[in-house]
Amino acid sequence: MFQTKYGIHLVVALALLFFALSRLPLSMEWGISSLFTWTWLAFAGFIVAANWKMVLQVEREKRRTAERQRRNRWLKEQKRRKNLSWSARRRRGKW
């Protein structure tokens, strides 16, 4: 469902973008209307890019990899601590 929600957002954003391209005054003259047009198109592009990224779930794989690495480091540290505690007990003669 998480991915479907962003897919719907992507389709709606693309539809708004294509609908707006025919209505917005696209000119290279610098004025208030052209500034608004290019700003609106830039924001629409950001929205499309963000939803596309969520649909592809790019960050999900990075998070999984980072979590796996963090867990492996934690497990190694726990193993090292356990070995240290056993060797310290052995040295003190408290088996």
pLDDT at 95 over 70: no
- DSSP assignment of 15-34, as one string? HHHHHHHHHS---SS-SHHH
Span 44-56, pLDDT tens digits: 889 888 888 888 8
Domain coordinates in residue numbering, the chain: 1-56, 65-95
Taking CA atoms, 88 is separated from 39, 72, 74, 75, 77, in Å, by: 66, 24, 21, 20, 16
Q: Are 11 and 42 in contact (CB under 8 A)?
A: no
pLDDT for position 88: 62
pLDDT at 94 over 80: no
Task: With 0.75 as the threshold, say if the pTM is over it.
Answer: no
Q: Are 20 and 40 in contact (CB under 8 A)?
A: yes
Span 41-91, pLDDT tens digits: 899 889 888 888 888 876 777 888 888 999 999 999 888 888 776 666 666
